């Protein structure tokens, strides 16, 4: 992306976990950050304060909004444009993961609907708005999971929601022809975040960590580094790709640990 006086990025789910790391990492890389959050205002304000303390006022704003609600998403983009004049990138990380890991036969319709609504419909709505609003030379990044290729039992709803994200982000990259905007998917492996830890025993967490040849969980900053590359000028020729940021994790035996 060509250098501009102000590079503005919207980070959905930008107040906690991977989203928090992305917000802070991009702020350090001279991006102006719009921190979108769904409900935890305190967490969003904490990230906002940290950015302002390090880089000065006017480097970030926090905007509440449910990504599965069109009006909320439009408002996030409106606030970004009203405050900073433009949107140069969107990093869509907001999502949910069930903390009970049920088999398909045990997954309730309510849990299925919630997962698909937030993860898939939410990504669709954000991408639809991003296509209209992101400036030429910009970036759109969505979020999947390495589980899409490992197909672990207990994650059917989540995997289905993220597989759809991968498919239509690749289509989006083609439909952006002529706009000089790239669209890619970031696909983390097991990453040490609140969402990952929820509902897991210490034994299960340790088993996940062993799946990578690097013998550890990913850290939110590991994922943020890959995002930083994709939105940078160095990432200009990466388009329509799914980037597996998982430390080489081969979770072939993950099913054994889910039910520990």
Radius of gyration of the chain (CA): 18
> Is the distance from CB of 223 to CB of 188 less than 8 angstroms?
yes
Q: Distance (Å, rounded) from C-alpha 95 to C-alpha 185?
A: 14
**How many residues appear in the chain?**
260
Q: Is 158 a catalytic residue?
A: yes
Q: What distance in Å separates the CA atoms of residue 209 and residue 188, rounded to the nearest whole number?
A: 13
Residue of 94, 71, 93, 91 lying closest to 138 (CA atoms): 91
Q: Do 145 and 187 form a contact (C-beta atoms < 8 A)?
A: yes
The alpha carbon of 5 is separated from its chain's Cα centroid by a whole number of angstroms, namely 25
- How many other CB atoms sit within 10 Å of the CB of residue 78? 13
Query: Which listed residue (37, 101, 155, 158) is catalytic?
Result: 158
- The helix (H) or strand (E) run that includes residue 229 is helix 220-231
As given in the structure block, the two tokens for residue 257 are 């640990």
Phi first, then psi: give them for residue 52, nearest 5 degrees. -65, -35
Q: List active site positions.
A: 158
């Amino acid at each position: 992306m060509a250098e501009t006086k102000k590079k503005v990025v919207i980070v959905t789910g930008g107040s906690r976990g991977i989203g928090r790391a992305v917000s802070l990492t991009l702020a350090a890389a001279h991006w102006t950050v719009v921190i979108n959050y769904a409900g935890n205002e305190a967490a969003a304000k904490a990230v906002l304060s940290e950015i302002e303390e390090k880089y000065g006022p006017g480097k970030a704003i926090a905007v509440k909004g449910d990504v599965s609600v069109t009006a909320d998403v439009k408002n996030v983009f409106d606030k970004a444009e009203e405050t900073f004049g433009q949107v140069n990138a969107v990093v869509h990380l907001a999502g949910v993961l069930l903390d009970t890991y049920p088999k398909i036969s045990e997954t309730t319709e309510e849990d299925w609907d919630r997962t698909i609504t937030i993860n898939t419909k939410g990504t669709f709505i954000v991408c639809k708005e991003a296509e209209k609003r992101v400036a030429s030379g910009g970036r759109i990044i969505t979020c999947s999971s390495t589980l899409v290729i490992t197909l672990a039992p207990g994650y059917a709803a989540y995997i289905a929601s993220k597989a759809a994200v991968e498919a239509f982000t690749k289509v989006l990259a083609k439909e952006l022809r002529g706009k000089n905007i790239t669209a890619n998917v970031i696909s983390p492996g097991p990453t040490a975040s609140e969402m990952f830890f929820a509902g897991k025993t210490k034994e299960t967490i340790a088993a996940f960590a062993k799946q990578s040849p690097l013998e550890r969980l990913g850290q939110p900053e590991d994922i943020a580094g890959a995002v930083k590359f994709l939105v940078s000028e160095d990432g200009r020729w990466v388009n329509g790709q799914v980037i597996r940021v998982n430390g080489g994790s081969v979770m072939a035996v993950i099913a054994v640990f889910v039910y520990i």
